[in-house]
Amino acid sequence: MSVVDASGQIIPLSVNYFPHRKCNYACKFCFHTDKSSKTVPLDEAKRGLKLLAEAGMKKINISGGEPFLNPRFLGEIIKYCKAELKLESTGIICNGSKVQLRWLEEYGEYLDIMGVSCDSFDDDTNLKIGRSDNGRGVHKNKVFQIAEWCRDRQIMFKMNTVVNRFNVAEDMNDSVAEIAPFRWKVFQVLLLEGENKGPNALRDATDLVISNDEFKAFLERHKEQKCLVPEDNEAMENSYLLLDEEMRFLNCQGGKKVPGRSILKVGVQTALQDAGWETETFIERGGIFEWERKQSEELSW
């Protein structure tokens, strides 16, 4: 699978789309904060996603903000991408707090990957991080519950963890082994100017930063987890195609996120010139993997 076609044009193989920035949590390290209330209507979002599919997109990952704050929009986007655009893989990254079984019953057949962010299995640690809703800590039971719902529907379950000052010494082995995600993405906390660092940021994550050696120690502690996929700052910064609420690619080169021109106005190839996407780093970090679920005939929706 290539990220460049015969003419040398970039293929946007895998795209991470942030349809809005709203979130019910206040994670202190968040690098996509609620700085804008803008979004595009569903029909315009579909038009943009169709342009991406025509340009070669095979996988879409919906994040936020918290995508489940607008469950119908999220469901209809996932359904459109899978049923009409015939994408190989549709995925979601969420905090888990708003996932409802009835949503999975309606839209689960169109979803390949459900990702839940889980930075700790300790309630006090989650409260320190800000991963809570109105001061209520995230209970690990919800993560386990969503994983079970996904297994029952043969949706691949993924877990994301941001290693930071508050959880860097935690041993998550037993809980991760019990949940058994097909991928456990482990990120080193990343600072981006204007998002979680600097005078114009809504967050200040400087006190949560850890050293490379501390990150390596966390990985070493969890090396027996076969699902572990680590990403340090260098791997994270320029290896993702990030599409914001106005369908603009975000360029993370230089330690901040700079929006380019919207694909709705200039088309995909012109917009990709603004993205700062390092295709080699994307491949090196394992950006291409088995991302399409295998559904048995026994499961009927």
Model confidence pLDDT, tens digit, residues 1-40: 789 898 889 999 999 999 999 998 988 888 766 666 789 9
Question: Quick check: is 23 catalytic?
Answer: yes
Helix (H), strand (E) at residue 184: strand 183-188
C-beta separation of 101 from 132 below 8 A = no
289: in domain: no
Alpha-carbon distance of 195 to 197, in angstroms, equals 6
Considering 23, 81, 118, 252, which one is annotated as catalytic?
23
Residue 46 counted as domain residue: yes
Known catalytic membership, residue 27: yes
Domain that holds residue 257: 14-284
Residue 212 predicted with pLDDT over 90? yes
Q: Which residues 6+ apart lie within 8 Å of 247 measured at CB?
A: 17, 40, 44, 45, 48, 262, 263, 264
Q: What is the pLDDT of residues 73-132, one digit of tens each?
A: 999 999 999 999 999 999 999 999 999 999 999 999 999 999 999 999 998 999 999 887
- Marked catalytic residue, from 30, 81, 94, 227: 30
The active-site residue out of 27, 81, 150, 227 is: 27
Asked if residue 69 is part of any domain, the answer here is: yes
- Whether 83 is in a domain gets the answer yes
Helices 42-54, 71-79: crossing angle, 10 deg rounding = 30
State the CATH number of the domain containing residue 78: 3.20.20.70
Q: How confident is the model at residue 198 (pLDDT cuts 50, 70, 90)?
A: confident
Is residue 294 situated within a structural domain?
no
- Count of structural domains, the chain: 1
Q: Is 28:129 a contact under the CB 8 Å cutoff?
A: yes
The two most distant CA atoms of the chain are separated, in Å, by 55
Q: How far apart are CA 189 and CA 185, in angstroms?
A: 12
291 lies in some domain: no
Q: Which residue has the tokens 């719902």?
A: 149
- 292 in any annotated domain: no
Residue 236 lies in a domain: yes
Residue among 268, 247, 274 at smallest CA distance from 12: 268
- Give the H or E element holding residue 156: strand 156-163
- Length of the chain counted residue by residue: 301
How far apart are the C-alpha atoms of 130 and 117, rounded to whole Å?
13
8 Å CB contact between 215 and 191: no
